[in-house]
Structure 1
Amino acid sequence: MDLVTLNDVPMGRLLVVAGHLVGQRWNRFLAEKFNLTQAGMVTLMTLDKDGALPHREVAQRCFVRPATLTGIIDTLERDGLVERQRDDTDRRSVRLAITPAGRERVAAIGALIRAGRPLTSVDADPAKAAVIRAFLLEVIGSGEEPRMIEPTDLPDGQQC
């Protein structure tokens, strides 16, 4: 899809397309620069913030099933970023812990995120960025199903 074909696309569809493309680009960047998936990054950040945790607890905090987390942990452990630790009081229980190499990876990603580099020339403008942020926060926070706004709902007779 080129930008010309997107000019008349409704805002909701543009939001979906933008989210999809940004997600793809972010995942590609994580893989190339940090050798991580999005799921691996979230898992590392959870363990960095919360310390060693049981497998099931990490899965809950990362919003994945325990079975899904197993593969993520296998990869992170293979790469030396996470380790499985047996619980001394209950040998059946396994705790997951971030390694020093994992902490370094989280620190590098965190520094990149905190750098706040604009994604586009539009969000480089503080006034425009504020409008975009307000829009995205309202979309995220509404928790409602998409709905059509009636023309009578718009201020000053604006058109959809």
Structure 2
Amino acid sequence: MDTSRLHEAPLGSLLVLSGRLAQQRWGNYLATHHNLTPAGVAVLTVLDANGDLGHRELAERCFFKPATLTGIVDTLEKSGHVRRQPDPADRRAIRLVITESGQAAIAKVQEVRTLTQPLTSVDADPAKAAIVRQFLMELISTMEDPRELTSS
């Protein structure tokens, strides 16, 4: 990839581009090595950490719309990673439960997520990595809708 024109790009543009590339590469890795999607990993991660959840609550915790979650859960159910079971408190509702297969799959993904080897030379330098971490954490905590920035 020719990055020569990116040296003068605004940080926001670089952030968007790097996020898109990282998401594409992560998605390709998950599909190739784990037969999962990033959305499927999000669902398995939340279920693994919280136990069974109702559809709406799981969608909220994954930052998905409930309608979007349906297809993701269908795929995970076909793979044997998730199962739907009746909610004992409300016969009309279902709970989503991670299976042993789903727990094993997310454990393998977590091994990769927690690797500590540096991603770049900047990441290898603790002082530089701290600045990047601070930037990203501040950005995440103060993120605004870009349309709101132009109206003020």
- TM class, shorter-chain normalised? 0.7 to 0.9
Aligned equivalents of 1:113 and 1:44: distance in 2? 14
Q: Moved runs in structure 1, 4+ residues, more than 6 A?
A: none
Q: Following TM superposition, by how much is the alpha carbon of 1:48 offset from its aligned partner in structure 2, in angstroms? A: 0.6
Larger RCO (alpha carbons 8 Å, 6+ apart):
2
Which residue is equivalent to 1:100? 100
- Residues paired across the two proteins, number: 147
TM-score (norm 2): 0.88
- Structure 1 regions of 5+ residues with no counterpart? 148-160
The structure with the greater share of residues assigned to helix is: 2
Q: Following TM superposition, by how much is the alpha carbon of 1:145 offset from its aligned partner in structure 2, in angstroms? A: 6.2
Aligned equivalents of 1:134 and 1:53: distance in 2? 33
Q: Which amino acid aligns with 1:15?
A: L
Higher Cα Rg, which structure: 1
Which residue is equivalent to 1:120? 120
Deviation per residue, 1:78-124 (Å, 9 max, x gap): 00000011124433211110000100111111121122232212211
Aligned equivalents of 1:102 and 1:2: distance in 2? 39
Q: Does 1:38 align with 2:38?
A: yes
Q: Does 1:19 align with 2:13?
A: no
Aligned equivalents of 2:54 and 2:135: distance in 1? 38
Aligned equivalents of 2:8 and 2:88: distance in 1? 62
Indicate the percent of aligned positions where both proteins have the same amino acid: 52
TM-score (norm 1): 0.84
- RMSD value, Cα: 1.7
Which residue is equivalent to 2:132? 132
Q: How does 1:47-126 map to 2 (within 5 A)?
A: 47-126=47-126
Aligned equivalents of 2:142 and 2:89: distance in 1? 45
